[in-house]
Amino acid sequence: MSPTEIKARIDEIDCILQSGAKSVTVDGVTTTWDHDSLRSERGDLERKLSPKTRRRPFILKPRLG
């Protein structure tokens, strides 16, 4: 997924979570959402967007002069 697609999916998840709806029926077809799995997916997508930051190892360099 591209960063644009990831942001779009995060926006979709936010809309679903903010609405509070757990299911919707359109033309006889019912779609049900599990809010816990949506929150989990949103967290995974956020981690994909954030830069990979790691702490650099600490190295002690004594001065000998």
Opening angle at CA 60, ends 59 and 61, nearest 5: 115
Specify the pLDDT at position 32.
92
pTM over cut 0.85: no
In eight-state DSSP terms, residue 5 is H
Tell me how many degrees the CA angle 35-31-5 measures, rounded to the nearest 5.
65
> pLDDT under 50 in the chain at which residues?
none
* Res 45: pLDDT: 92
Model pLDDT, residue 49: 85
Given this model, what pLDDT does residue 54 score? 61
